[in-house]
Each structure stands twice: as structure tokens, then as C-alpha cells.
Amino acid sequence: MPEQNEARDPGAKHPEPDFPHQEQQHPGWTGPMDPPPDHGEESYRGSGLLGGLKAVLTGGDSGIGRAVALAFAREGADVLFTHLPEEEEEAGQTRSLIEDAGRKAVSLACDIREEEQCRKVVDRAVAEFERIDILVNNAAYQMSQPDGIGAISTEQFDRVMRTNLYGMFWLTKMALPHMPRGGCVINSTSVQAYKPSPHLLDYAMTKGAIVTFTQGLAQMMASDGIRVNAVAPGPVWTPLIPATMPDTAEFGKQSPLGRPAQPAEMAPAYVFLASPQASYITAEIVNATGGTPLP
């Protein structure tokens, strides 16, 4: 994998489509993916930007979440991350990456669709860390439905809303009382918030709502010294793609850079927003779309 600071043609820095056709059952697994995702295992080098901070991250078992957990740890933060019960093996790999960086790792199996499960996440974080400096609301659910709105069942719609919005709302509401001045919330939105794909209609709805939540909460919390920002990735090569998309062969080819991002390419945006260097940045959406222009 290319080094973090190596200057290269961004379009050619990582694998380009066409990828082999591949399908997985939800929630998807890192191991079978071809090409394998890069989370920064061999390339990310920290420089102490988050020294001594305490982070809570949802969906940290794989994909963007694993890359952010790794980067936070290598920047000096202790990390508690959530995962689904069936993702225990994946979570173990993330936990090892955090510990190998010399930081405390806490993994917690839960389903953030349930309010009490969210409360357990915050209670555990406070028990382990005494405070929460950084909250990253990253966990999300999507399922492609190319046959139109009629194919979106109430069960799917409810799962998307509760995972992507309810969980974020509850966790943020519960975490804020334990966040000191200088703390921050970082939400994962998406290019879908601005340029929705019809086959991801319900998912795109939630990502638009996350933008609004981020910008409104940032104004609400400014006087308390808490910053609130979001990252809007474009196409990223994670296990969610073969688990939820009908065809992976050309995934990411629509990006102006001609390829999907690797999770490792998203992590620096989260690190920057979490760091003291971003002290005057709040209510911001950092677009990491590979060249797709957004408002």
C-alpha cells in the first residue's frame, strides 16, 4: 500500500475498477473482499494530534470506522467502538490495531437502534474513560432497492432510520453531558445527502438529515465549547458495498478520480476535525468525494 505522505497521482494511488463481481450477506466482511480494503495498517503514521483524548466511535469493526479507530489510536487517543454482535471477529481485528498502537481499546457489541443500547455505550465509555472528548457517529445501514420506492419495505425503512438517525441522536444526547469544553462530535454523512441515488432513496434521506442535524447542533453547542462537524464521503470500498449493492464491478468508476476511496483516505478528515488544529471549525461538512462537486 502507498505511504500516507507519498505524493502520487490520486487517481492511481489505489486499485481502480473493474473489480471482480462479489456478493456477501449483510453486514459484510473484510476478508473476502477483492481487492482488500486499506485501513492504513501499513501506511498511517501518527504525530500526536490526539494525545490523551478519549474517543467513542460507532461502527468501528470495519471500513471507515476501522480506519478512523486506527488513525485515532496512532494519534494518541484511547478508543471505545461499537459493532454488531455478529461482527465480533472483525471487531477483534480493530481492537488489535488500537492496542498495537499502544492505546486502550474497548469494543462493545450492541445495536444502536435501541435507546437503552445507546445508554450502555455511553455508560461504558464513562466507566472506562471518565469523559468523552470525541464522539464519532459513523454506524449506518443501507440496502439498495433498484426496483423503486415500492420495494422499500417498512421493515427496511425503519431499520435505516433507526440506525442512521435515532442512534446518532440518542448517543449524542447522552454523550454531551460527559464532554468537556473542547470536545467534539463528528458525524458521517455522504455524497448521497446532496446527490441521491434513486436505489438508495431511504439511505440518502438520512444522510441529508445528518447534514441538518450537524449544522443545527453546532450552533446549539458553540457556547458550551463543543464543536460539531461531519464528513461526507463519496464511494468508499468497504464491506457494506458487496453486502448491499447489486453490482460491485464498476463501483466508484463514476467518481472524477475514476475509482472508489479506500477507508484509509477518509480517516485524516476525521483526525483533523477531532484535533485542536480545527478549533475554529464547527458546523462544517468536509466533502471527501473524489472530485464530485457538492454545495
Active-site choice (44, 203, 270, 280): 203
Q: Give the cell for residue 279.
A: 478549533
Q: Say whether 203 is catalytic.
A: yes
Q: Which residues contact 154 (CB under 8 A, 6 or more apart)?
A: none
Q: State how far the Cα of 127 lies from the Cα of 3, in Å rounded to an integer.
A: 37
Half-sphere exposure of 243 (CA within 13 A, CB side): 18
Q: State how far the Cα of 265 lies from the Cα of 263, in Å rounded to an integer.
A: 5
Locate all alpha helices (DSSP H) within 150-238, ordered by sequence: 154-161, 167-175, 201-221
Residue type, 94: T
Long-range contacts of 130-133 (CB under 8 A, 24+ apart): 130/54, 131/54, 131/178, 131/179, 131/180, 132/54, 132/55, 132/56, 132/175, 132/178, 132/179, 132/183, 133/53, 133/54, 133/55, 133/77, 133/179, 133/180, 133/182, 133/183, 133/184
Q: Which residues contact 34 (CB under 8 A, 6 or more apart)?
A: 19, 20, 22
Residue with cell 495498517: 41
Residues annotated as catalytic are: 203
